[in-house]
Amino acid sequence: MCDSRPPPADGDDIAACAPQSASAVASSVDGDAVAIDTVAPGEGSGITTLPSGEPEAWHGRHPRREFKARGSQVIRCEACRLPRLNCLCPYQVTAESRIKFWLITHPLEHYKPTNTGRLISDVLAGTEVFSWYRVEPDPRLLALLEDERYQPFIIFPDDQPDYADRVVDVNAIAGVGADVATHTASGEARIPVFILLDGTWRQARRIFRKSPYLDGLPVLPLHTQRLTRYHLRKPASEAHLCTAEVAAELLRQAGEENAASVLDDYFDAFNDCYRASRIHYVLEPTAPMRRLLARRDATAGES
């Protein structure tokens, strides 16, 4: 864990530990309980959407677990998974970034409607989502890790000595102060990739420790004093950022201010829409929502 505080109790979801210049790990604080019974795809009111782009061979590997926590009977939008009372779809805006995100997601996270990792996919079209299985890594991920067009960085705290030699800072993206390849053998610039571990703190640690194919990657800790704005579940500390907040902060520190601002606004819209729906309140457009609508109008006017 970050600094000297003890880790949260098992099952507490953490996206990042970033108090006063400490490190951050990207996993999610977002999540509600998931029932242990199984259902066939499409039955009941469960959330059973698979990650987009997942190969046909992987279909059926996810536990068919129905979302039965508080609010499971709410009528939800099929696209954004939020209650239709305050649908998020009108505020979805895409942004361009030279940074790519690959999310390694614990299977149970796919069924949590409060998961914020999927917000990254909504905003950044090149985002890849992979399900994590300890003994059978996703072949798509393995292929991409071998692709010299990309320079991946795994986002994880720098709090353990056994991988200290792999730790870099954000300047490594530009090849400053670190032995990181920024160009391919043919001289083309490599595309920086941030790998986020999307799950509870225990799940993120397990993914990091039990995935040998990640062992050779540079580790990029997030140092920030930003506090979380996530309202859907009380974190162990205000310094624990959720997955989308981690991604936005990483974009900002890498110089991708426009993409960071769009993701921040989209996260705020998601946060407020979901919170308002929990108390059956129809939300009027907030400032972040109005900015997103203005971006959509501007984009439509250019096309």
> In this structure, how many other beta carbons lie within 10 angstroms of the beta carbon of residue 193?
22
- Asked if the structure places residue 9 within a domain, the reply is no
Most confident of 4-18, 173-187, 205-219, 226-240: 205-219
**For the chain, what is the radius of gyration of the CA atoms?**
19
How far, in Å, CA of 208 to CA of 28, rounded?
A: 15
The whole-chain average pLDDT of the chain stands at 79
Which residues make Cβ contacts (< 8 Å) with residue 220, sequence separation at least 6? 153, 154, 155, 156, 167, 168, 169, 170, 172, 194
- Domain assignment present for 212: yes
Look at residue 68 in the predicted model and tell me its pLDDT. Answer: 57
User: Is position 29 within any domain?
Assistant: no
Q: DSSP assignment, residue 171?
A: G
Tell me the residue range of the domain where 246 lies.
56-302
pLDDT of amino acid 258: 96
C-alpha distance across the termini of the chain, in Å: 47
Percent of the chain at pLDDT above 70? 73
pLDDT of residue 20: 34
The verdict on residue 25 lying in a domain is no
- Please report whether residue 13 resides in a domain: no
Q: Name which of 91, 26, 66, 8 is nearest 271 in CA terms.
A: 91
In this prediction, residues 266-293 reach a mean pLDDT of 95
pLDDT of residue 57: 46
Domain assignment present for residue 51? The answer is: no
Give the tokens for residue 196: 């986020």
pTM: predicted TM-score of the whole model, two decimal places: 0.78
In a domain, 26, yes or no: no
User: How many structural domains does the chain have?
Assistant: 1
pLDDT class of 65 with cuts at 50, 70, 90: low
Domain-embedded: residue 27: no
Give the torsion through C-alpha atoms of 182, 123, 131, 221, to 10 deg: 50
pLDDT exceeds cutoff 80 at 53: no
Read off the pLDDT of residues 4-51 as tens digits, 9 standing for 90 and up.
333 443 333 434 333 333 344 444 434 433 322 223 333 333 333 444
The reported pLDDT for the residue numbered 252 is 95
Sign of the Cα torsion 293, 299, 302, 303 reads negative
Predicted confidence at residue 199, as pLDDT, reads 85
